[in-house]
Structure 1
Amino acid sequence: MIDRAGILMEQGAAIAAERVVDSSNMSRSHYHSHFELYYLEEGTRLHMLENDIYETKPGDMMLFAPFVMHHSYSDEPNSDFKRIVLYFTPESIEDDVVLELLKNSSGLYHVDKKIGHYIHGMLGMLLFQQEDYDKLHDAALKALLNMIVVTLLKSAVPANKPEVQTLITRMIEYIDTHFMDDINLDSLAEQFFVSKYYLCREFKKYTNRTINQYINTTRILNAQRQIMETSRSFTVIASDCGFASCTHFTRTFKQVTGITPSEFKSTYKNKQKRRNSKENAILTN
């Protein structure tokens, strides 16, 4: 499946949406540098959000903050589902209070039927306005986005986190909080009192990736966050994220992302410049 909204974001858009109908399952978790609001229109889906699993039904919404690992799937193969995905950058949120709430509000949201119709209607209007490239295009998208997220935060009831924890969810939680340490397959098997073979088999079955792949992805995720949010050197970031050397960090970074840390930093700065230029152009017109 082609993520057209994702492509628009990569090209410098601050807000992008798409309606999708298919039956595909994501094979592994991923993350974005932007927010994602996922509105399920038809079907049922399971969402893995970091180390928690949620079931969504029509009218439910999932909110993913930047750099939160997630993926969706279904227990029933070839089961069609219909959803609207809305991506947006932190800079597109006009109110600082709303932005701080969004950063800490990833999860499943339920709304009553009336509010659900309002949000669904605004999402439909945003999809319509996205294709109308007049001088009010960006202003319309921004106004609709901010109304959608404010309505969601004011009216929705966040679902409680699932209480059941399996061996793998406990391990994921451990990796997420100890990625900067010297952790590996041997130390994890010892930590959780299981054999390495069992650990590898169950982890692969549950996450569709190996333990080393998950550790490396988690470390690189946190490195990306530091590159964007701090002025620390790559050497310091590598050490903070559990890498023994800057060379190992650079090699792993490219394996996970396809680009080097320097290329990532340059790409991020260029995106910021394009967005700032677009905002300045809107303000001066």
Structure 2
Amino acid sequence: MIDSAGFLMAGGKSIASERIQGVDDNMERSHYHEYFELYYLEYGNRYHMVNEHIYSIQSGELILFPPYVMHHSYGDSGVAFKRLLVYFTPDMILVPEIKKALGTSSGVYRLDKKDSLLIHQLLKEILKEQDEGDGYGTEAMQMLLNQLLIKLARRSGESIKPEQSGRISEILHYLHLNYSENITLNDLAARFYISPYYLCREFKRYTNSTIIHYINNLRIIQAQRMFLETDKTITDISREVGFSNVTHFNRVFKSLLGMSPSQNRKQLRPSLPPEQYSESKRPSSPEQNQSHI
């Protein structure tokens, strides 16, 4: 599936919209963005894995992903779907209280028919402004978006329970709490009383990711948050998120994001002094042991 809206965001847009329909169009693995994603299902049924939880959404329902939340969507074999989404950066939200209300966790919104139709109409208007707007298109999209977000913020306290998903969900929850620790496959399997082979097989089936790739994603997400929220050196951040040395951190970071940690930090916080874009000069520990996940 081609993510045209994602290309627009990568090109510097603050808001982008896209409609896609398909059958058996399933994401291969979890990913995350540096911006919000609002996903409205126009018809069909889809499952969304959000961090360690799975949610099932039906037509007329929507889900909001804040920045740096791991997620991916998939559907049952042969079931057609159509969805309408909007990506937008946090600075597109005009009311600070709404940004705070919506920015802390993902939300699944099961709306009554009236609200669902209204939000669907706002989303269609956002897409129309992107495709046909003659002037002030971005400003019009922003105003429509904020009308929509006010309605969601009023319902942000309503909790939608995830699907029950058993042992692998417990393991994912453990990894989200302990990703910075020195975790080995054997230790993880022993903790949950299963064989390493079964753990690897079921984890891959459930997440479409290897355990090491999943943990590295968690670590890199947390590192990006620390780039935004702290002035710690890249070396110190790499240690705090679980890498034994900054060389390994740099290699994993670049393999996942296509840029170095210093380049990403400069992109996220261009006003920082130059020394904050480099690693510290302190020597690092030996290369991470390959027996560790």
The residue aligned with 1:72 is 73
The residue aligned with 2:192 is 192
Q: How far is the alpha carbon of 1:226 from its aligned partner?
A: 1.3
Q: Is this contact kept in 2: 1:110–1:156, CA < 8 A?
A: no
The residue aligned with 1:164 is 164
Q: Quick one: structure 1 residues 105 and 200, their matched pair in 2 at CA, closer, same or farther if it must change by over 3 Å?
A: closer
Q: How far is the alpha carbon of 1:269 from its aligned partner?
A: 4.4
Q: How far is the alpha carbon of 1:13 from its aligned partner?
A: 1.1
Q: How far is the alpha carbon of 1:135 from its aligned partner?
A: 4.0
Matched letter for residue 243 of structure 1 = F
Q: How far is the alpha carbon of 1:210 from its aligned partner?
A: 1.0
Number of matched residues?
A: 271
The residue aligned with 2:46 is 45
Matched letter for residue 243 of structure 2 = F
Query: Is 12-21 or 223-232 further displaced after alignment?
Result: 223-232
Q: How far is the alpha carbon of 1:157 from its aligned partner?
A: 7.5
The residue aligned with 1:26 is 27
More helix by share: 1
Please give the alpha-carbon distance, in whole angstroms, between the structure 1 residues aligned to 2:20 and 2:165.
32
The residue aligned with 2:99 is 99
The residue aligned with 1:247 is 247
Matched letter for residue 144 of structure 2 = L
Q: Is this contact kept in 2: 1:111–1:157, CA < 8 A?
A: no
Please give the alpha-carbon distance, in whole angstroms, between the structure 1 residues aligned to 2:234 and 2:105.
30
Please give the alpha-carbon distance, in whole angstroms, between the structure 2 residues aligned to 1:216 and 1:71.
16
Q: Quick one: structure 1 residues 190 and 199, their matched pair in 2 at CA, closer, same or farther if it must change by over 3 Å?
A: same
Please give the alpha-carbon distance, in whole angstroms, between the structure 2 residues aligned to 1:15 and 1:143.
11
Matched letter for residue 31 of structure 1 = Y
Please give the alpha-carbon distance, in whole angstroms, between the structure 1 residues aligned to 2:12 and 2:27.
25
- Name the Cα RMSD after superposition: 2.0
Q: Is this contact kept in 2: 1:110–1:159, CA < 8 A?
A: no
What are the superposed Cα offsets for residues 103-149 of structure 1, whole Å, 9 maximum, x if unpaired?
12413111111111111111111111112454422221111010011
Moved over 4 A (4+): none
Specify the SS of the correspondent of 1:38.
strand
What are the superposed Cα offsets for residues 194-227 of structure 1, whole Å, 9 maximum, x if unpaired?
1111111111111111111111111111112212
Matched letter for residue 47 of structure 2 = L
Specify the SS of the correspondent of 2:28.
coil
Please give the alpha-carbon distance, in whole angstroms, between the structure 1 residues aligned to 2:44 and 2:115.
20
Specify the SS of the correspondent of 1:131.
helix
Residue 9 in 1 paired to residue 9 in 2?
A: yes
The residue aligned with 1:219 is 219
Q: Quick one: structure 1 residues 225 and 38, their matched pair in 2 at CA, closer, same or farther if it must change by over 3 Å?
A: same
Aligned sequence identity (%)? 43
Matched letter for residue 21 of structure 1 = Q
Please give the alpha-carbon distance, in whole angstroms, between the structure 1 residues aligned to 2:8 and 2:146.
19
The residue aligned with 1:126 is 126
Q: How far is the alpha carbon of 1:192 from its aligned partner?
A: 1.2
The residue aligned with 2:111 is 111
Q: Is this contact kept in 1: 2:5–2:16, CA < 8 A?
A: yes
Please give the alpha-carbon distance, in whole angstroms, between the structure 2 residues aligned to 1:35 and 1:231.
24
The residue aligned with 1:183 is 183
Structure 1 residues not aligned, in runs of 5+: 271-285
Structure 2 residues not aligned, in runs of 5+: 271-293
Q: Quick one: structure 1 residues 105 and 253, their matched pair in 2 at CA, closer, same or farther if it must change by over 3 Å?
A: closer
Q: How far is the alpha carbon of 1:266 from its aligned partner?
A: 3.1
What are the superposed Cα offsets for residues 66-108 of structure 1, whole Å, 9 maximum, x if unpaired?
111111111224x321010111111110111100110124131
